[in-house]
Amino acid sequence: MEKKNLDWSNIGFTYMTTDKRYVSNFKNGKWDAGELTEDSTVVLNECAGILQYCQECFEGLKAYTTADGSIVTFRPDLNAERMMGSAAWLEMPIFPKERFLEAVDQVVAANAAWVPPYGSGATLYLRPYMFATGPVIGVKPSSEYQFRLFGTPVGPYFKGGVKPLTLCVSDFDRAAPHGTGHIKAGLNYAMSLHASEMAHMRGYDENLFPDSATRTYVEETGGANFLFVTRDHEVVTPASDSILPSITRRSLVYVAEHYLGLKVTQRKVKISELSDFAECGLCGTAAVISPVGKIVDHGKEICFESGMEEMGEITKKLYDTLTGIQMGTIEAPEGWIRKIL
């Protein structure tokens, strides 16, 4: 198979139209057979539920070329399950797990020429999503939906080297205590854009959102979970019912315990104890872990010992181990790698 002629190491994180995408429609109470299509446009009724009341959820995962030249995905079963949970919460029909996995396999195989080669640092980012296509004007769930999945190649996240991030403690809320913070829905992102633009304007990379009820505890950023390392190398991740259960964070916790022999604790983390940690990182599919060098809490600077030049020692070990598992140079736990080609 001939790869596309792209400068793989220099593509960014932007949408690029690839050859084939998967589409399945839900109508009269059931999903149709689904198929690959070359049509990258979506034509909708003007009153479609997604356009009026924002009934939508999505996922994000990657396909990798491993050291032996295989094309694989990383724990896509967890994306399938998480999307089932998001859909149920939004009163949308469930897209079955086996069908989700089949759609991932089909899209990756059909776009194999777009999967960046091993060693480039680039990957094929996959975006499964589901939205209400049926018309609704009275507020209620739609009766028709579309599941869609496309891929787009994305470049290495740390192009030009690692740059630890500077965050600010936000005055805005991301998720209400019994709201939608734990599901992957576009609506959580729509309302985070203002907070994110404000943070950028003030020179920060991201917001740290505290819990909305008490503004005392660390929740997450707009799109990544926190992971902290104490001075004696204990990994700590914030516990909350209103943060999105990141698959990367859950995988890093396993790696910390079973590969690196570290103690891991999931508990509520107070903003006031941030300065006790030695390292801080943001976990998500895009970067695996982005190191955080500094968090500014209303003028008070919290600087992590790992500094503004490089990843902390434990963060780096976690990063190297998980990316090694994804790229096939470190043996993966049973069931983590799904080989497609």
Ligand X SMILES: *Cc1c(COP(=O)(O)O)cnc(C)c1O
The tally of CA atoms less than 13 A away on the side-chain side of residue 312 is 29
The interface with ligand X within residues 231-260 (CB under 6 A) comprises 244, 246-249
Residue closer to ligand X, measured from CB, 148 or 249: 249
Phi, psi of 204 (to 5 degrees): -100, 155
Burial readout 86-118 (b: 16 or more C-beta within 10 A, e: otherwise): bbeebebbbbeeebbbebbbbbbebbbebbbeb
Residue closer to ligand X, measured from CB, 166 or 248: 248
Query: At its nearest, how many Å lie between ligand X and the CB of residue 286?
Result: 7
Q: Are 96 and 148 in contact (CB under 8 A)?
A: no
Task: Determine the Cα–Cα distance for residues 290 and 273; give it in Å rounded to an integer.
Answer: 20
Query: At its nearest, how many Å lie between ligand X and the CB of residue 189?
Result: 7
Query: Which residue matches tokens 């020692």?
Result: 313
- Total residues contacting ligand X by CB under 6 A comes to 14
Residue closer to ligand X, measured from CB, 134 or 242: 242
Query: At its nearest, how many Å lie between ligand X and the CB of residue 257?
Result: 17
Task: Determine the Cα–Cα distance for residues 291 and 169; give it in Å rounded to an integer.
Answer: 16
Query: At its nearest, how many Å lie between ligand X and the CB of residue 252?
Result: 9
Residue closer to ligand X, measured from CB, 34 or 238: 238
The interface with ligand X within residues 19-78 (CB under 6 A) comprises 60
Query: At its nearest, how many Å lie between ligand X and the CB of residue 5?
Result: 29
The interface with ligand X within residues 272-301 (CB under 6 A) comprises 283-285
Q: Are 73 and 65 in contact (CB under 8 A)?
A: no
Question: Which one of residues 184, 195, 240, 290 is an interface residue with ligand X (CB under 6 A)?
Answer: 184
The interface with ligand X within residues 194-233 (CB under 6 A) comprises 220, 223-225
Residue closer to ligand X, measured from CB, 207 or 306: 207
Task: Determine the Cα–Cα distance for residues 214 and 179; give it in Å rounded to an integer.
Answer: 15
Q: Are 153 and 216 in contact (CB under 8 A)?
A: no
Strand 21-27, strand 30-31: pairing:
antiparallel
Alpha-helix runs per DSSP H in 38-176: 49-53, 76-89, 97-110
Task: Determine the Cα–Cα distance for residues 285 and 232; give it in Å rounded to an integer.
Answer: 27
Residue closer to ligand X, measured from CB, 72 or 283: 283
184 an active-site residue? yes
Query: At its nearest, how many Å lie between ligand X and the CB of residue 72?
Result: 16
Q: Residue 262 is encoded by which pair of tokens? A: 């570290």
Which is the catalytic residue, given 20, 30, 62, 184? 184
Applying CB under 6 A, the residues found at the interface with ligand X are 60, 184, 220, 223-225, 244, 246-249, 283-285
Q: Which residues are catalytic?
A: 184
